[in-house]
Structure 1
Amino acid sequence: MHGEYKVPGGKLVVVDLDVEGGALRDVRVAGDFFLEPDEAILAIDTALEGAPANTGTADLTARIDAALPASTVMFGLTSEGIAVAVRRALAHATEWSDYDWQLIHEQPQSPALHMALDEVITAEVAAGRRPPTLRVWEWDSPAVIIGSFQSLRNEVDAEAAARHGVSVVRRVSGGGAMFVEPGNTITYSLSVPDALVSGLSFADSYAYLDDWVLEALGDMGIKAWYQPLNDIATEVGKIAGAAQKRVVGHDGGPGAVLHHVTMSYDIDADKMLDVLRIGREKMSDKGTKSAKKRVDPLRRQTGLPRGVVINNMIESFRTRHGLTTGTVSQDEQERAEELVRTKFGTAEWTARVP
């Protein structure tokens, strides 16, 4: 069995192993990390040898920590990262390179249609009718997108939204509200087979699926990191928020994961604060006195036009994982438009949590 795991902000950990009699055998840990002293790698392999195959990540981590020499120094590597790679091997997890990735980047769409396209495309990936897909969104109008379980009236000032011509839609994933305007945000979705995140905890899957964009930002001179549970941040503030939805496969078969991210390119903070009801309680755990300081635009950090930032991100993904250009099929488009009529464009869905 073979498992790989890119430690967030670190290096790649690779684990090869066999299972005999319900226990790990012939465990071999490798990767492009740095580890001192040399004998530490043998101590890690020995610690994992013979462990029950159903051992959880925490207990595997403890076994490794207990076996390491006192002088051990790890760089780009953690005991937990090794344990995760072991669990991914046992779960027969796939890797980014196992797939032929497809890009969808088309004309601006309505907010409700974007919600519908996410659902349709991810369902197609789960059914095996579409390859794993990176979809970059273009917006045709300003909107607030609230999380699946948020209260509409608690999150949005309806009068202010109407005054600014901002529509409100509800997405299928959880998390908080997003304020978007054409040209001022960068939004993308990853629709991936659940095998890609197999063996990862829910929190680890966020970091794993965000890692490519952290590297893309690094290529543009921005040192960014994953901030649990679902933020991407830099030294000067948050620049993005992510959300996920798990899709169950047909008849219990393989499923898929929808992971979508909205990044602030040049946010109008005053308008955002007029439309969103951001309470003191929500802000109190962010360590800042002003909501305006919570989100720091990419335009100021990169100095690059929005289109250039998007193209750089796409090319970064293409270089690392491969990417061919595709389109939304006619069938997918028609199904998405039907979902707008019956779900995402309806008051019943938008206000399902009043």
Structure 2
Amino acid sequence: MRQGSGSGGGESGELGRHHGEYKVPGGKLVIVDLAVVGGVLRDVRVAGDFFLEPDEALEAINGALEGAPADAGARDLAVRIDAALPAGTALFGFSSEAVGIAVRRAVADAAEWTDFDWQIIHAGPQPPALHMALDEVLTSEVAAGRRPPTLRVWEWDRPAVIIGSFQSLRNEVDQRGAERHGVTVVRRISGGGAMFVEPGNTITYSLSVPQSLVQGLSFAESYAYLDDWVLAALGDMGVKAWYKPLNDIATDAGKVAGAAQKRLASGAGAVLHHVTMSYDIDAGKMTEVLRIGKEKLSDKGIASARKRVDPLRRQTGLPRAEVIERMIASFRARYGGSDGVVSDAELARARELAAGKFSSSEWLGRVP
């Protein structure tokens, strides 16, 4: 397995051939093998664990892709496929656009999850500013090839509000409410909305992955792709969850998680994808601390908050520690992974950033 981001995770080993895979979120796996000759696709072979009727539709898909421009987008490839499918064709667990995405990943020689030796970190409680810094440091180390792709599960040492990189501090946070409830406010490096977290009520994790893992995917597609494993983990716990564009994980009962991303261009490039999941919630406290919560939920107050966010404690009936344990076990079953730690050098750098950047009034108030 590869440790870093390398080039050619999609190579099939046969000279001139490209191999790409795309797991449809909540659906089936699509695999494409192809060659690129003179700027067009040749000898395209589509496979996977999907269902397709009638049988001859598979050759129609292969034929539609033959001779297509190698730089065509997934949507353009899907149009070619749709036009070639026999009348009455039924696709189960995938779509023509999913095939197009798999083609794009093949052409880009995108890496797959199992190409890497994953490291899994789950340490004790840490302060909010240090969590912000660890995300930046570990993802930078992955980009530089000095750290393998990493799943890090957070533990909080205090309640916090984490606002997005581009959010206005005064518009999002009721400072008096935060002070009254002893809530620390920090700003993360990724975009998106504000998150209210409390120790014991929140499950937070980060994926620091090489850019090569999301090659061939649009920004929106990468969210669904990087969230798919946790959907399966929740399913194993009896929770039917799905990805809700752009950055939510939801169930029939309500939203259970929100994701955010940051792309780092240093080295070979890396993606930080972090998710905050609601295990339990104090909706009253949340609406006293978050202004955005008040605005969105002003018509129905706390009752609306409980409807919008439905905690995993109720949906799983499991202790928080067991939910985390099962999530990690599910990840390992799919992709492998060994227990890891933050190195002394990484921790020293993170502490420096936590004190000098993420605890500074300049960073927190950079959008007043």
> Is the TM value for this pair above 0.5?
yes
Task: Tell me which residue corresponds to 1:260.
Answer: 274
Please list every run of at least 4 consecutive aligned residues from structure 1 whose deviation after the TM superposition is greater than 6 angstroms: none
2:321 maps to which of 304, 307, 310? 307
Query: How much has 1:342 moved relative to structure 2?
Result: 1.1
**1:213-252 aligned within 5 A:** 213-250=230-267
Unaligned ranges ≥5, structure 2: 1-17
Letter in 1 for 2:236: D
Q: What residue identity is the alignment partner of 1:208?
A: Y
Q: Tell me what 1:75 maps to.
A: 92
- The residue aligned with 1:209 is 226
1:297 aligned to 2:311?
Answer: yes
1:47 aligns with 2:64: yes
1:23 is matched with which residue? 40
Shift of 1:280: 7.1
Match for 2:183 among 160, 166, 174? 166
Question: How far apart in 1 are the matches of 2:127 and 2:148?
Answer: 24
1:150: which partner in 2? 167
Unaligned 5+ segments in structure 1 are none
* Cα displacement string for residues 292-346 of structure 1 (whole angstroms, at most 9, x for unaligned residues): 3110000000000000000000000000000100000000000000001110011
Given candidates 287, 291, 296, the residue that maps to 1:277 is: 291
- 1:70-110 CA-to-partner distances (Å, cap 9, x unmatched) read 11011111000000000000111000010000001001000
What value does the CA root-mean-square deviation take over the aligned residues?
1.3
Describe the shift of the 1:131–1:217 C-alpha distance in structure 2 as closer, same or farther (beyond 3 A).
same
Which residue of the other structure, out of 4, 11, 26, is the alignment partner of 1:9? 26
Identity value in percent: 74
Describe the SS at the equivalent of 1:54: coil
Alignment partners' CA distance in 2, 1:118 and 1:111 = 11
Supply the AA of the counterpart residue of 1:341: A
Alignment-derived partner of residue 341 in structure 1: 355
Q: Distance in 2 between matches of 1:168 and 1:310?
A: 25
Matched to 1:233, the amino acid is A
Partner of 1:102: 119
> Structure 2 length as normaliser, TM-score?
0.93
Tell me how far apart the structure 2 counterparts of residues 38 and 15 of structure 1 sit (CA, whole Å).
Answer: 17
Secondary structure of the residue aligned to 1:65 is: helix
Read off the aligned partner of 2:217 and give its amino acid letter. L
| Deviation readout 1:263-286 (Å, 9 max, x if unpaired) | 0001111100110012676469xx
| Aligned match for 2:196, one of 179, 183, 189 | 179
Tell me: CA distance 1:156–1:245, structure 2 relative to 1, closer, same or farther (3 Å): same
Letter in 2 for 1:162: E
Superposition pairs of residues 129-144 of structure 1, within 5 angstroms: 129-144=146-161
Q: Hey, what does 1:319 align to over in structure 2?
A: 333
